[in-house]
Amino acid sequence: MRVWALSGAVHDLTAARIWGIVRDLAASGLIVLAGKGYTGAGDHLRTPCKGRNKPASQKAANQAHATVRGPGERANAQLKTWRILRKLRYCRWQAGRLAKAIGVLQAREMQQSTSHPGNRRPRGAAR
């Protein structure tokens, strides 16, 4: 598989189509929860209902969608705060292992901060 960098102006969905991610997900049979920007990308991508004045059933569906999708969004936001990922200098295929290790450290840090509230690090403090 050939990998190349795309411009930052390229939308996530366009990049996923270029790299064949959308096609591979469809072939695998996985159902993917996505944001509203991915509407129309395929039957296997589930997106929230758009529009105003939605009926209660659509509001409930959107709430359920956000509830399931929320932890993944939170994890991505947490990964972005780790400085080590900003300038990754080794094989990108190894980045998954690094992300898993960071996830373990993050979970441990959260566990410690909830068990010892006085030991919390102030917001914005270096990691």
Mind listing the pLDDT tens digit for each residue in 98-126? Answer: 778 877 887 787 777 766 555 555 555 55
* pTM of model > 0.75: no
Q: Backbone dihedral region of 51: left (phi > 0), alpha (psi from -120 to 50 degrees) or beta? A: left
pLDDT tens digits, 23-45: 898 899 888 888 888 888 888 88
Model confidence over 49-99: pLDDT tens digits? 998 999 999 999 999 999 988 888 887 787 777 777 676 666 666 777 777
Domain residue extents for the chain: 1-49, 67-120
pLDDT number for residue 126: 55
pLDDT attached to residue 59: 94
CA distance 50 to 43: 16
> Among 60, 18, 61, 13, which Cα is nearest to 39's?
13
